[in-house]
Amino acid sequence: MDDKEFWLDLIEELEALYNKHEAALCDIEECRMFGSLLAKLLERLEDSGQYRLADRVMDILSVCSPKIASHCENAERTKSMLRSLIERAKHEAELQR
């Protein structure tokens, strides 16, 4: 996988996570699945040497804590952090042109 392909794939994965997060706000099982997918992304970023992005994903994981029968207190923060990661990945993809 070349660099541009890596970034485009990452953008797609982050956007899917962003949408999954929106769907998970009121569903504890979906919320747990979101966390699991985020952890897999963290591992992939670390394996590819993208440590700065991996640190941002760890930040998201640190504020994301599923709660039963209550609304996520950090939903907007998580959403903002994901949006920031998407923008960063888009910028990196543009640099690969």
- Whole-structure pTM over 0.75, yes or no? yes
What is the number of structural domains in the chain? 1
Taking Cα atoms as reference points, which of 46, 60, 49, 51 lies closest to residue 17? 60
Rounded average pLDDT over 3-29: 88
Tokens coding 52: 């700065």
Range of the domain at 45: 3-95
pLDDT in tens, 52-91: 999 999 999 998 876 665 567 788 898 999 999 999 999 9
pLDDT in tens, 18-61: 998 887 777 778 888 889 999 999 999 999 999 999 999 999 99
CA–centroid distance for 52 within its chain: 13
Element (H, E) at 34: helix 28-47
User: By C-alpha distance, which of 73, 44, 32, 80 is closest to 59?
Assistant: 80
